[in-house]
Amino acid sequence: MSGQLATSDLPAGYHDVPYVAERLRPRRRAIARNLTAAAAVPSLTADMRVDLTQLLAVRSQWVGREPSVLAFIAKAAVATLADFPGLNASYGDRQLIRWSTVNLGVAVDSPDGLMVPVIRDAQTLGVDRIAERIADLARRARSGELELADLAGGTFTISNPGAVGPSLRAEALLNVPQVALLGLPGLRREPVVVGEGQEENVAIRTVLDPSLTFDHRALDGGEVLRYLTSLRDRLESWSLAEYAAGE
């Protein structure tokens, strides 16, 4: 819906600039309110370089349809939270609530704007099931079939802007009241130093630079960097037997 605005509704100094006014949809206004609340949280972002060679090798040997790379990373991210429960939490004025299950939010770029449907009890699921849940939630988000229950109760979020375009960094605002969000930029092919000592050489590898945005009221940089280091180690030494298990 468009129309003419009162002069008082226009930014100062723009009264003689031609325009078209579009009324904001309720969902867009709700997203704006959530982002405003998130921007008020004192947050920082830490990055880590990950070599995906081992993960991609395991994926190529998968029996049946290959899950998305996102599903592999989500499985490792959720498994790593078991050792860092402070990242699977919500901050309050008087307490930090550490959640006893991982309800994984997965940001989806939909026609109605950014939506974050939730995979409940993600720590109980293997890669295949996580891939199925991500695909189902993304499809329903884009077709307008999500229900309010699909969007409630998330405890940790993954944002995947690399799926939209070749982004170099994935810094993001937090999905409050959660205290941590893992952002995934685009995969890249780059020269990487491999080996050690006399065996050291340069090889072209597929790499990912995940970004972990965190609420600095709840978390310090040391814990976040230890989480990212542990996540990197899981991804670079992927074990099919260990991480494929689940429902």
Of the chain, the end-to-end C-alpha distance in Å amounts to 47
Q: Please give the model's pTM, rounded to 2 decimal places.
A: 0.87
- H/E stretch holding 183: strand 180-183
Over 50: is that where the pLDDT of 205 sits?
A: yes
Whether residue 15 lies in the annotated active site:
no
DSSP label at residue 178: B
Q: How confident is the model at residue 174 (pLDDT cuts 50, 70, 90)?
A: very high
Whether residue 112 lies in the annotated active site:
no
Catalytic residue among 15, 83, 121, 220: 220
Q: How confident is the model at residue 242 (pLDDT cuts 50, 70, 90)?
A: low
15-243 to CATH, choices 3.30.70.100, 3.40.190.10, 3.30.505.10, 3.30.559.10: 3.30.559.10
Over 80: is that where the pLDDT of 78 sits?
A: yes
d(CA 24, CA 112): 11
Would you call 92 exposed, middle or buried from its count of C-beta atoms within 10 A (0-12, 13-18, 19+)? exposed
Burial 162-200, CB ≥16 within 10 A → b, else e: bbeeebeebbbbbbbbbbbbbbbbbbeeeeeeeeeeeee
Give residue-wise pLDDT tens across range 153-163.
999 999 998 77
pLDDT on residue 43: 93
Give residue-wise pLDDT tens across range 83-110.
999 999 999 888 999 999 999 999 998 8
Provide the mean pLDDT of the chain.
90
